[in-house]
């Protein structure tokens, strides 16, 4: 990854021009909609996720890679972290504190979940509770939920989010570094890697397997919801429709977005193809059996500018109220330094738009969604921006 310079941000209407990285045929101008990025916080340390407890309209919780969860309240970044896991997380380029999810019943039970790679590089999902102080998690409340050995410090996933069904979805990459998944973790149903899991964490401790999970016959792992993913770094559910959007990071050339509509089972049991396919490209030319594989809704190739650093960053469908014209629009980005959007309609990515928000050297690490459904863009150099009307 490349540490980039601070962005020079401009409120610029979307235009259908090329960007520094990647090809993107079919991008269109959205017409009169103008957007900008409004600075919410700067100077953070590698922020890579943002969320808020359900119904909490005052606070944003920002995850810093080095192990801190920070609170932004009414626009001000609090100095005291909500939780400090800096002594527990590993420091590799794709390691650290990687995910945060508030329980749907957080206002009653104070439960929240974190996802990180520990000092041994093992992926850990751990439950905590808030303390008597609503701005401080209780570090002594840690309860291990799930631990997954990682064969390599790359492609460890890290996303955790509650689905509309109340179950916790956990993203895990193939854990196989740059060897093109030599271990075949993407297609192997007997391990948890290269998949999104679905688990029930509503009980007193640990997790159970929800009724309806697709792989119930051993030796397949019953935690699996789908598979064939390389590194689903960020994925989300449309809060209006429940549709699942997955940004799956590609290897040598292609990045992809998968969309799993609620009406088609929300991706249950789907095989997204890795390592047989990278996007729709056969990784073993002429020898790919694509029977039963679910192709991406959108894919793009790395450009010639810093192609090694290009990684798709899955985002969110906008369901806020501030910009009604954007409702139903899915925003995503790339570590290469851009933000784009499309509208999923009729099984296709339509109204594809390139938003020229960022300095092309600014690396997008994640998007975030607050309790009102407004969207945020986070950058490696330490900024948090809100997408606003321009």
Binding part of the chain for Ca ion, among 11-19, 34-42, 192-200, 208-216 by CB under 5 A, reads 192-200
- DSSP at 364: E
CB of 267 to Ca ion, least distance (A): 12
Q: Does 151 bind Ca ion (CB under 5 A)?
A: no
CB of 150 to Ca ion, least distance (A): 12
Q: How far apart are CA 60 and CA 311, in angstroms?
A: 25
Total binding residues toward Ca ion, as defined by CB under 5 A = 7
Walk across the sheet containing 137-148 and list its strands: 97-102, 111-117, 123-130, 137-148
Residue 350's φ and ψ, nearest 5 degrees, are: -110, 170
Residues 124-159 as b or e (16 or more Cβ within 10 Å = b): bbbbbbbbeeeeebeeeebeebbebebbbbbbbbbb
CB of 178 to Ca ion, least distance (A): 18
Q: Among 46, 68, 215, 272, which residue interacts with Ca ion (rule: CB under 5 A)?
A: 272
User: Within positions 5 to 24, which residues make up the interface with Ca ion, using CB under 5 A?
Assistant: none
Count of other CB atoms within 10 angstroms of residue 175: 26
CB of 215 to Ca ion, least distance (A): 10
* Backbone region of residue 177 per phi and psi (left: phi > 0; alpha: psi in -120 to 50; beta: other values): left
Helices (H), the chain: 106-109
Q: Among 273, 314, 320, 333, which residue interacts with Ca ion (rule: CB under 5 A)?
A: 273
Q: Does 188 bind Ca ion (CB under 5 A)?
A: yes
- Token digits of residue 124: 């850990």
Q: Among 104, 194, 232, 247, which residue interacts with Ca ion (rule: CB under 5 A)?
A: 194
Report which residue's Cβ sits closest to Ca ion.
Answer: 273
Q: Among 117, 124, 185, 231, which residue interacts with Ca ion (rule: CB under 5 A)?
A: 185
Q: Does 89 bind Ca ion (CB under 5 A)?
A: no
Nearest CB to Ca ion, comparing residues 162 and 272:
272
Binding footprint of Ca ion on the chain (CB under 5 A): 185, 188, 191, 193-194, 272-273
């Amino acid at each position: 990854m490349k540490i980039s310079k601070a962005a020079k941000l401009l409120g610029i209407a979307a235009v259908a021009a090329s960007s520094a990285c990647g090809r993107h045929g079919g991008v269109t101008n959205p017409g009169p909609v103008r957007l900008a990025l409004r600075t919410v916080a700067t100077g953070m340390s590698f922020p890579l996720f943002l969320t808020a407890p359900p119904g909490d309209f005052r606070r944003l919780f920002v995850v810093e890679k080095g192990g801190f969860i920070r609170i932004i309240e009414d626009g001000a970044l609090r100095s005291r972290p909500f939780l400090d896991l800096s002594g527990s997380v590993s420091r590799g380029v794709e390691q650290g504190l990687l995910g945060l999810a508030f329980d749907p019943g957080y206002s009653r039970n104070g439960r929240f979940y974190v996802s990180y790679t520990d000092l041994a590089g093992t992926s850990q999902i751990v439950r905590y509770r808030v303390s008597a102080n609503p701005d401080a998690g209780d570090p002594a409340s840690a309860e291990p939920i799930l631990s997954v050995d990682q064969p390599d410090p790359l492609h460890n996933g890290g996303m955790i989010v509650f689905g509309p069904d109340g179950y916790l979805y956990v993203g895990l990459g193939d854990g196989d570094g740059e060897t093109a998944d030599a271990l075949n973790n993407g297609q192997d149903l007997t391990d948890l890697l290269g998949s999104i899991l679905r688990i029930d964490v509503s009980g007193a401790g640990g997790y159970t397997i929800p009724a309806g999970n697709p792989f119930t016959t051993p030796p397949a792992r019953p935690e699996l919801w789908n598979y064939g993913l390389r590194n689903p770094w960020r994925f989300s559910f449309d809060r209006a429709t429940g549709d699942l959007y997955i940004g799956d990071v590609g290897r040598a050339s292609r990045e992809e977005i998968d969309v799993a509509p609620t009406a088609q089972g929300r991706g249950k049991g789907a095989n997204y193809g890795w390592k047989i396919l990278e996007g729709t490209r056969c990784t073993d030319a002429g020898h790919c059996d694509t029977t039963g594989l679910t192709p991406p809704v959108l894919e793009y190739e790395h450009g010639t500018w810093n192609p090694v650093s290009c990684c798709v960053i899955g985002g969110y469908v906008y369901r806020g109220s501030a910009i009604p014209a954007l409702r139903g629009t899915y925003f995503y980005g790339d570590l290469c330094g851009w933000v784009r959007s499309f509208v999923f309609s009729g099984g296709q990515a339509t109204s594809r738009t390139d938003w020229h928000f960022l300095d092309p050297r600014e690396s997008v690490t994640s998007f975030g969604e607050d309790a009102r459904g407004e969207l945020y863009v986070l950058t490696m150099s330490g900024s948090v921006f809100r997408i606003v009307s321009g």
